Amino acid sequence: MTIELRSAPLVEQELEKLTSKCELLKSKGVTPSMKVILVGQIKASVIYTKNKKKFCERFGADCEIINLDESINEQDFVDAVKKISENKSVHGCFVQLPLPSHLSHIDPGALIDPNKDVDGFHEHNIGELFKGDPKSKFLMPCTPQGVLGTLNYYNFPVEGKNIVIIGRSLIVGKPLALLLLNNNATVTVCHSRTTDLKEHTKRADIIISAVGKPRFLTADYLNENGKQVLVDVGINHDENGKLCGDLDYENLLGRCQAITPVPGGVGPLTILSLAQNLLQAAENSL
Ligand code: GUN
């Protein structure tokens, strides 16, 4: 039988910790405060940002969505982000992606104080992840943190495991490879130019897909032992508009040891990690 790796129990468990940490910070005179910068009104981004705000409010932090006009020019955008980041009462901020095409060449992580970069996109935080010092209190990229959190919570330690990541994006694939490597996994990063992807996935203990193609990973990519653990980072819509991941979920059930669903799998953990980063940033500011 395949174990379904749902995020809800982990989120509930961590919410309690976030709530008591937040109360402690407040007792020291610090109310964790996050600013979410949203440019335009892309439907998915509006939903994601509202979910992030709601989540912060569940454990007692302040969160404001600052909605900039879609037609804002580059200089005004840069000035707005820097001003928000420089505000002393703000502990964490980020720009929701994607940006409109006339701003998409900008690296928003570079505009934000690395100590407030709750997305973990700033070069300083990426550099700390690259170095991998376990004592460093840097802000870690959220989705990779959510993937590792899921595997640990469900007792699938990554140490010594062969892990295949499909996708090499700056937000997921590359930082996830570093995080897993720092946790003593043997990591292979596959991508669109990988020859014979199936050869790699068949010998993996854990497969993590972050390619953004609806139900692309079918049972053909698995071996026959039924012990592989599958993590789906994809959030896609199929030809009927139905939300689905990169994994052909229904057809993989029963053929692997464990699998994350979409929705209800890794997605909510990205928001949890963002919240954990906010509290880390607030604590670091003391
Ligand atoms: N859009 C999709 N995922 C993300 C994310 O992790 N951070 C930001 N800022 N925007 C996103």
Q: Which CATH number is 72's domain given?
A: 3.40.50.10860
For the record, the structure tokens of 66 come out as 């600052």
Q: What is the mean pLDDT of residues 76-102?
A: 97
Domain membership flag for residue 278: no
Report yes or no: 179 and 145 within 8 Å, Cβ to Cβ: yes
Model pTM?
0.95
Domain membership flag for residue 181: yes
The DSSP bridge partners found for residue 163 are 187, 206
Please indicate whether residue 171, judged by its CB atom, sits closer than 6 Å to ligand 1.
yes
For residue 62, give Cα distances in angstroms to 20, 39, 100, 108, 115: 15, 20, 27, 22, 18
Total structural domains in the chain?
2
Looking at residue 207, its pLDDT comes to 98
Going by CA atoms, what residue is nearest to atom 1 of ligand 1?
Answer: 97
Domain membership flag for residue 86: yes
On average, the pLDDT of the chain sits at: 97
For residue 181, give Cα distances in angstroms to 170, 222, 229, 231: 16, 23, 17, 17
Residues 146 and 69 in one domain: no
Domain membership flag for residue 73: yes
Residues 150 and 262 in one domain: yes
Looking at residue 262, its pLDDT comes to 97
Percentage of the chain modeled with pLDDT above 90: 100
Ligand 1: atom nearest CA of 141 is: 6
pLDDT tens-digit series, residues 193-221 = 999 999 999 999 999 999 999 999 999 99
Domain membership flag for residue 154: yes
Please indicate whether residue 81, judged by its CB atom, sits closer than 6 Å to ligand 1.
no
**Catalytic positions, written as ranges:** 52, 96, 119
Please indicate whether residue 211, judged by its CB atom, sits closer than 6 Å to ligand 1.
no
Residues 89 and 179 in one domain: no
Domain membership flag for residue 116: no
For the record, the structure tokens of 175 come out as 């930082």
Q: Residue 56: which domain range?
A: 30-102
Going by CA atoms, what residue is nearest to atom 4 of ligand 1?
Answer: 97
| Neighbour tally for 203: CB within 10 Å | 12
Residues 261 and 170 in one domain: yes
Single-letter amino acid, residue 13 = Q
Percentage of the chain modeled with pLDDT above 70: 100
Single-letter amino acid, residue 109 = G
Looking at residue 77, its pLDDT comes to 98
Please indicate whether residue 274, judged by its CB atom, sits closer than 6 Å to ligand 1.
no
Domain membership flag for residue 133: no
Single-letter amino acid, residue 41 = Q
